[in-house]
């Protein structure tokens, strides 16, 4: 068994992650427009016909902007909690809405999607793992702290999208107002490079082949800085930056513990 993964966009301007096997796929969040989602998937050779569901992590606009149009156009079930639905103001046909519960796996064909609760300043936020057979991928962004739930699931993953939102020095010396700085680093905001790196160093499983650094701040982080920081501690994992401007290549996660080649040959630094 194996999985194919790509970030279609990752950042405060929109988040959307594709995870699937040869037959079916899911989108974790849909924070870019339907047209942009289609365009980026087409460039990657990915088919919307394989997408069988959208899973929504929380109600912030950069995670739900494209949900309504995508779901309606492709008749996709949207897995979302009632609180997230309410606070996000989403208008979806009842027949397209399915409630999920933390720690209760959901089967989508051969995919097994499991949600777990996290700390973030949203009504009912969750992160997700997606498994196919014994291969597992995690989507872990918008995290206030590294909690026990995150550690538990991170240790099981062959690949993970992990938030590395800000450099602490850049945030401190930057132009953000104090209340926004406090929100970002206050335990219900976002993970710093240092927090994410500590998780990676302390809990990276030996079988993890890829780490996708995600949700980087435009103003308070630097892609080259954070790539170099993690690459020093990679220990066999390929470090990839999930860009806020363009999709990543499609990566094949085989569960062998060795980095697989991208399905589309591209220098990662061309994404910055």
Q: What DSSP element (H or E) covers 27?
A: strand 25-28
Residue 122 has pLDDT above 50, yes or no: yes
Q: State residue 205's pLDDT score.
A: 98
Its pTM stands at: 0.94
Q: State residue 256's pLDDT score.
A: 67
Kindly report, residue by residue over 232-272, the tens digit of the pLDDT. Answer: 999 999 999 999 999 999 999 997 644 433 343 333 323 33
**Residue 52 belongs to domain with CATH number:** 3.60.15.10
Kindly report, residue by residue over 3-40, the tens digit of the pLDDT. Answer: 999 999 999 999 999 999 999 999 999 999 999 999 99
- Percent helix, strand and coil across the chain, each rounded to 5? 30, 25, 45
On whether the CB atoms of residues 13 and 214 are closer than 8 A, the answer is no
Average pLDDT over residues 189-211: 98
Q: State residue 267's pLDDT score.
A: 31
Q: Which residues contact 268 (CB under 8 A, 6 or more apart)?
A: 227, 240, 241
Query: Strand 16-20 and strand 97-98: pairing?
Result: unpaired
Question: Residue 112 belongs to what domain range?
Answer: 3-271
Strand-pair partners of 132: 111, 135
Q: State residue 246's pLDDT score.
A: 98
| Alpha carbons 190 and 141: distance in angstroms, whole number | 8
Picking from 65, 46, 58, the residue whose alpha carbon sits closest to that of residue 140 is 58
Q: State residue 160's pLDDT score.
A: 98
* Domain count along the chain: 1
Query: Strand 16-20 and strand 25-28: pairing?
Result: antiparallel
- Residue 264 in tokens: 């589309």
């Amino acid at each position: 068994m194996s999985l194919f993964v790509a970030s279609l966009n990752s950042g405060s301007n929109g988040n959307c992650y594709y995870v699937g096997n040869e037959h079916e796929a899911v989108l974790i969040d849909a924070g870019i427009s339907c047209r942009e989602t289609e365009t980026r998937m087409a460039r990657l050779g990915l088919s919307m016909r394989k997408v069988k569901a959208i899973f929504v992590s929380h109600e912030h606009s950069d995670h739900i902007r494209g949900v309504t149009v995508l779901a309606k156009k492709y008749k996709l079930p949207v897995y979302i909690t009632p609180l997230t639905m309410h606070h996000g103001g989403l208008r979806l046909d009842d027949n397209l809405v399915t409630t999920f519960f933390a720690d209760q796996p959901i089967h989508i064909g051969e995919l097994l999607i499991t949600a777990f609760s996290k700390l973030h300043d949203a009504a009912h936020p969750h992160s997700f793992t997606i498994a196919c057979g014994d291969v597992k991928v995690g989507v872990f962004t918008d995290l206030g702290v590294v909690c026990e739930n995150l550690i538990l699931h991170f240790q099981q993953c062959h690949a993970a999208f992990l938030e590395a939102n800000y450099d602490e020095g850049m945030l401190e010396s930057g132009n953000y107002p104090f209340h926004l700085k406090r929100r970002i680093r206050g335990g219900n905001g976002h993970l710093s490079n240092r927090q994410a790196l500590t998780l990676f160093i302390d809990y990276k499983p030996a079988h993890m082949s890829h780490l996708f650094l995600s949700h980087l701040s435009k103003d308070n982080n630097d892609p080259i800085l954070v790539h170099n920081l993690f690459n020093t501690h990679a220990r066999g994992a390929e470090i990839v930056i999930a860009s806020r401007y363009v999709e990543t290549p499609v990566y094949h996660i085989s569960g062998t513990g060795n980095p697989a080649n991208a399905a589309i040959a591209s220098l990662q630094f061309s994404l910055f």
